[in-house]
Chain A
């Protein structure tokens, strides 16, 4: 089951709310990820992506300055990160957002609040697909 996910990879968590970043970080740790970096908005996330070797992006949808969707579009546009797995965190009731994100090439999404099990399942789906 777990062979598709490399838990040693560096994960980028983007969210403007620090508490939310911590929650996501805790859940990622619970799943087995150890190397986690945080960014407080899309701009900061792009900066991290430029400087660090990120294996997975978990981004919030609604952030100031640059939304998660814009971040996703920028990631897909840059040939260096075009294939980087991106998981969108969204809230209930914003369905049009999810569809837009999927059309823009998001690998999967989770709806807040989510459990470690749900996140793991989504990540496994993502990496299973990427592994072919």
Chain B
């Protein structure tokens, strides 16, 4: 009976080696077990079709025992190892005479052992482990008394988990468009997995529980048991939201030293279960199936299709559907090929259109991140402040009259060197507070997705310049205006697919979010290729609201800018998305508070671009240095509209309103800085001085000054102490010669002027 095939020789030799390995196995010897399994696997590959079923199943059972030993799911280990030994001996006996005998003491002993260890005799034992896995999350009940595991670590965890959740949102949107992208699935899966792991250490059962639920859902997608669809993505986003809420609560709980709140998670769990079961029934299919395409092309009847599918199901390892159809003569091979190509195009087309630029950029950025450390923000703020002090102290030293009396070239050089180093140090310390804007921009991904679903518009979002840096303190301030502009872009700017098609545009609208540095500023563009601003309607509305006098001639850009006027809103109906009465004026106000500007570029039918231009940091402003008497003041350059020396005919005094200046046929109240600050000649005639027209919150005032000394970037220093809240002054700065210049606060000035 013995067959002396080369393979059989190999099997025998292999089994002998395997027997030796089993003897050498010690308890908990994972490398040994790994070695054993690898050998077992390579031997299984040598088995041929004639191998008796008993031998095949015995091989499988040995593999299962090996796996269970690794996972510590079988015990006692010594007994399981002995079972392995007996199994290998049985296989060796089989391989030597190619006959599997069940009527031996060895086989009976093996079966007894196997039963004692709780193994079925067909090698089917995985049901047990699955039940175990199901049962595990039940443990995650909340303990009666809450104990913080490690508060510092918990705080770190909150920050890090939030960061990762942001990443998930943009990852999910990408995934929705490319549901088969395994890297994308993994990128979304990983954070939940990690959050779950860390939460387990930090005694946060609810977070652990929730992330486990979402993770298990995504894991099914990862392993291909479930295909990604809108429902899964929605549920994952719900999970993200719930986790964020928990993290918020956790942070509060941490600072208040109270136990975290209890959250209701059952509905999410139920939904997860539902989705998992639904997909098992094959309800959700990501792409059009071959049969579907053939039917839609009229090449196949649905009864033929179901017949072929039946046939495919019946045969284990059956050929693909296309092959069956051709073999049965239902469809010509050419047609099947064409349908397959169509299917591929549909799939690829979806993917190609999907990949948002941001996602790719992020992947590239992930690959090459320089090493970083995390520092408490307060420390950095302190450093930046101290650097400001150092710059001042340094300039005081330089301006010291005694020192200036010394004419020593070496001292000169050393002082110059010192000031160079201090200013460089200041730059570096400022840059430490700068963070990439990417995270803020990525938050818009989720927003755009939700908006486009709500408004039934198709929007593709492109994010550029994620690495652009911005002062940490400005990031939060810029978020709300950005959200507002993005909402407006989707809600008002972009058209519905139907409207777009009617105009010969592709149904999917494009929305670009771009961040870049330009001339010492950070610029954020929000641009879409929608309908553009409707100037006629804006003008009509502005006239109706009395913002524009009838007959007044306005340039297109002036008309566009009317939307920033307080109380202006063109939305014909208030939608759920934008236009809740909070107008664009708030956007402009917020940005101006950040020393920034918003500009509009709009072209009818081609779209609009809103550009937010802001200084790199709030600690530095672009200032105009003006002279008032002997004092020097700094005006924020963004607020200055124009500068003029009025003619006598343009100057009026009106009873009860004080002095007015006529600028371009508009009367503007005049504020005398000389009088407000009691500096210099309070009675100087405006025609002998300069009027700076400044704008704040849509109101204009003329500020009377003696002269403009220049434009300069100045570092804002708080005046500190009792000088901190003086109306009309925002702070102070050190000018080039080391003297203090006061920075004007327009809001304060305007209200002073009214009194």
Contact = CB atoms under 8 A, between A and B. Distances in A.
Contacts of B136: 92-93
Interface string A99-119: 100111111110011000000
B70 interface: yes
B316 interface: no
A81 to B, nearest CB: 15
B157 A19 contact: yes
B368 to A, nearest CB: 10
Contact of B30 (A26, A63, A91, A102): A102
Contacts of A99: 37, 67, 70-71
A53 interface: no
Interface in B293-326: none
B187 A64 contact: yes
12 contacts: A18-B160, A20-B201, A23-B201, A62-B190, A64-B187, A64-B190, A64-B366, A91-B197, A92-B136, A93-B216, A112-B197, A125-B28
Interface in B1-58: 26, 28-31, 33-34, 37-38, 41
Contacts of B575: none
Nearest to B154: A19
B367 interface: yes
A108 B32 CA distance: 11
A98 B369 CA distance: 29
A89 B193 CA distance: 12
Nearest to B187: A64
A56 B219 CA distance: 30
B153 interface: yes
Main secondary structure of the interface of B (DSSP, over half): helix
B156 A129 contact: no
With a 10 A CB-CB cut-off, give which of A17, A60, A92, A109 has the most chain B CB atoms: A17
A93 B136 CA distance: 9
Contacts of A22: 153, 156
Interface in B165-206: 186-187, 189-190, 193-194, 196-198, 200-202
A129 B29 CA distance: 8
A106 B30 contact: yes
A63 B198 CA distance: 14
A4 B267 CA distance: 51
Contacts of B212: 93
Given A93-B133, A93-B215, A102-B30, 17 more contacts: A18-B160, A19-B156, A19-B157, A20-B197, A20-B198, A20-B201, A44-B371, A64-B190, A65-B366, A91-B193, A92-B136, A95-B129, A95-B133, A99-B71, A106-B31, A106-B34, A129-B31
B129 A62 contact: no
Contact of B194 (A62, A92, A93, A103): A62
Nearest to B191: A17
Contacts of A125: 28
A112 B30 contact: no
A87 B681 CA distance: 81
Contacts of B189: 62
B374 interface: yes
Contacts of A16: 190, 194
Contacts of B164: 17
Interface in B364-419: 366-367, 369, 371, 374
Interface in B188-234: 189-190, 193-194, 196-198, 200-202, 212, 215-216, 219
Interface residues on B, range: 35 or more
A19 B160 contact: yes
Contacts of A18: 156, 160, 374
B219 A93 contact: yes
Contacts of B38: 103
Task: Report the 10 A-B pairs with minimum CB-CB distance, sorted nearest first.
Answer: A113-B200, A102-B34, A112-B197, A19-B157, A113-B201, A17-B194, A125-B28, A19-B156, A103-B34, A102-B70
Contacts of B70: 98-99, 102
Interface of B: 26, 28-31, 33-34, 37-38, 41, 67, 70-71, 129, 133, 136, 150, 153, 156-157, 160-161, 164, 186-187, 189-190, 193-194, 196-198, 200-202, 212, 215-216, 219, 366-367, 369, 371, 374
A102 B33 contact: yes
A129 B161 CA distance: 38
Nearest to B157: A19
A125 B150 CA distance: 29
A89 B189 CA distance: 17
A64 to B, nearest CB: 6
A104 B37 CA distance: 10
Given A16-B194, A93-B219, A98-B71, A23 B153 contact: yes
Nearest to A88: B30
Nearest to A122: B28
A60 B190 CA distance: 11
B216 A109 contact: no
Nearest to A130: B31
Given A18-B374, A98-B71, A104 B29 contact: no
With a 10 A CB-CB cut-off, give which of B34, B160, B212, B369 has the most chain A CB atoms: B34
A18 B193 CA distance: 14
Nearest to A91: B197
Nearest to A101: B34
B466 to A, nearest CB: 17
Nearest to A44: B371
A36 B313 CA distance: 55
A44 B371 CA distance: 9
Contacts of B374: 18
A30 to B, nearest CB: 12
A113 B31 CA distance: 23
A63 B193 CA distance: 10
A15 B193 CA distance: 12
A40 B369 CA distance: 10
A41 to B, nearest CB: 9
B37 A102 contact: yes
Given A23-B153, A99-B37, A102-B33, A108 B67 contact: no
